[in-house]
Structure 1
Amino acid sequence: MLTSLQNPLVKQLRKLHSAKERREQGVFIIEGTHLLQEACRVKYPLATVCCTPQWQSRNQLLWQQASQQAQRGEIVSEEVLQAIATTVNPDGVVATAPRCLERSQVPCNGLTLALENVQDPGNVGTIIRTAMAAGASGLWLSANSVDIYNPKVLRATAGQWFRLPIAISPDLRATVSKCQQAGMQVIATQADAPLTYWEVDWQRPSLILLGNEGAGLSADLVAQSNLRVRIPQNAEVESLNVAIAAALLLYEAQRQKRFSTAQ
């Protein structure tokens, strides 16, 4: 059992709290029982799994599965687990996994999202979870958005991070052009847009553009869109949370598709 905070593995895992270290090491943290279950369920490759003896005794089947799926499994003390975890009260298990999102293929059809410079990990994680729940085909994230491997992003997705196709776009304008060439309508969200989101034909293949929490979408992306839409709101409210905006648009699209199918 690992008990020393000076152990080389422990030092390496503690460094993964930093986005820079996650990039340089090429791995990220999967923290908590639920996220580990989801990773094992989809057979996401694991590098290391560390757990306390108490967690192992309560989760023997999951420990066995994760250990077989990982390159290395270690029993660690409560102190070591607390040191490598990113949460204040970890539930007893922390794993690491290689950055593999480059394997993801976000299709240029169906209903997809593209996030430009979205910085809050809770917002991005909530959008991923909502997109999966609403039946979206995938999500693009601009390179200047929050690190998609941020532990807070993963936790906010409630495990859907491992299921929704996600890709980092080095050039979001080029990605938008690619989707348009494939026949998708590109819809930009803007407070003063001429159309409400209820007036859009969401049965068409659609790419939703969502921008930074404070600045919104860049002028270039707005100009590139096919439609600009707004979400009606009280004049005294400046804007909606980006994750809430995403949910409203996604579920309007789902409502229209279900209504059409039912007829």
Structure 2
Amino acid sequence: MSTTERPDSWAITSPRSDRVKRIAALSGRSARRKQGRFRVEGPQAVRSLLQHSAPLVRELYVTADGATAHPDILELADAHAIRPRDVDPSILRAMTRGEEDGAAASMAAPQGVLAVADLPSASLHAVLDTLPDGPLTALVLHGVQDPGNAGTLIRAADASGARAVLATTGTVDLYSPKVVRSATGSLFHLPVVAGIAPEDLSPALHDAGISVLATSGYADHDLFTTELPTRGAWIMGNEAHGLPQEMLDTADLAVRIPLAGDAESLNVAIAATVCLFETLRRR
């Protein structure tokens, strides 16, 4: 049985209210697409959202403990004329349950802070047109399926100074709660474009003067000794299968990461981190 709130009601008292159910449903991709919104959990991610993408914020929920522990978030909200709603931890717990995470996935409130934001609508060409001239790095996710890996990849791109993260169709939804949590705020620090048709990727990058870079255990070139282009986009593939041959064929340069031990390969997030920071080191 649901509890319907009056439109002018500010307090949320029931974890079974329609509003709570709507926010919990954002665990599912179909609900995110239908509502045009996604959920951001925890103080670090919400803080980054408010600092870098405040116009996207539509709702902000804070528990008493969250307000006490993170007064800077309330100050940021006030600076952007965003009015937070005070809620009980049980309400926040109910908001974080959903079909992708499972009913018992979040047994504690997400550190007292949760926001609902509009899905960004930036296009590939719009983002590429805003990139500066000169040396730059971008990261491309092609068929990456694990949300934790995707979030870690976004975080590594941010930490290494990459200027954009691009994702082709077939990649996990970058605005699922698990990806947003794993990215720990980096999702809002640099432009992110999802849903790119693979056949459109290389031509668009080349038009922007950006070389396509790939990794392969069978590549002739060693990452640490090969000259890298000053403007490049590293493409990282599926966890189990890597990059398909047709994507490798479009790369301007493919390199292998030399392995000194007996491991046959690296996790995609680790491989990307090595490539991104080697690029940063060169500069």
Structure 2 length-normalised TM:
0.83
Distance 1:205 1:64, change over 3 A: closer
1:221 aligns with 2:247: yes
Once the two structures are TM-superposed, the CA of residue 68 in structure 1 deviates from its matched residue by 6.6
Aligned length: 257
Partner of 1:41 in structure 2? 51
1:130 aligns with 2:156: yes
CA distance in 1, matches of 2:155, 2:91: 30
Partner of 1:231 in structure 2? 257
Question: Secondary structure of 1:199's match?
Answer: coil
Matches within 5 A, 1:202-217: 202-217=228-243
Question: Secondary structure of 1:16's match?
Answer: helix
More moved, 120-129 vs 57-66: 57-66
Once the two structures are TM-superposed, the CA of residue 115 in structure 1 deviates from its matched residue by 1.1
Partner of 1:240 in structure 2? 266
1:32 aligns with 2:54: no
CA distance in 2, matches of 1:99, 1:56: 26
CA distance in 2, matches of 1:13, 1:70: 21
Matched-pair identity in %: 31
Once the two structures are TM-superposed, the CA of residue 250 in structure 1 deviates from its matched residue by 0.9
Matches within 5 A, 1:85-234: 85=96, 87-89=106-108, 90-102=110-122, 105-106=127-128, 107=131, 110-234=136-260
CA distance in 2, matches of 1:236, 1:193: 18
RMSD of aligned alpha carbons: 2.2
Once the two structures are TM-superposed, the CA of residue 8 in structure 1 deviates from its matched residue by 1.5
- Cα deviation 1:208-242 (Å, max 9, x = unaligned): 11100001111111111111111112574232101
- Cα deviation 1:48-89 (Å, max 9, x = unaligned): 112223323444452354267476642222211111125332
Question: Secondary structure of 1:207's match?
Answer: strand
Partner of 1:6 in structure 2? 16
Question: Secondary structure of 1:102's match?
Answer: coil
CA distance in 2, matches of 1:10, 1:74: 13
Where does the alignment leave 5 or more consecutive residues of structure 1 unmatched? Answer: 258-263
Where does the alignment leave 5 or more consecutive residues of structure 2 unmatched? Answer: 1-10, 98-105
CA distance in 1, matches of 2:19, 2:83: 11
Distance 1:215 1:56, change over 3 A: same
Once the two structures are TM-superposed, the CA of residue 173 in structure 1 deviates from its matched residue by 2.6
Once the two structures are TM-superposed, the CA of residue 3 in structure 1 deviates from its matched residue by 1.9
Distance 1:78 1:202, change over 3 A: same
More moved, 229-238 vs 136-145: 229-238
Distance 1:183 1:73, change over 3 A: closer
Question: Secondary structure of 2:27's match?
Answer: coil
The one-letter code sitting in structure 1 at the alignment partner of 2:14 is: S
CA distance in 1, matches of 2:281, 2:256: 18
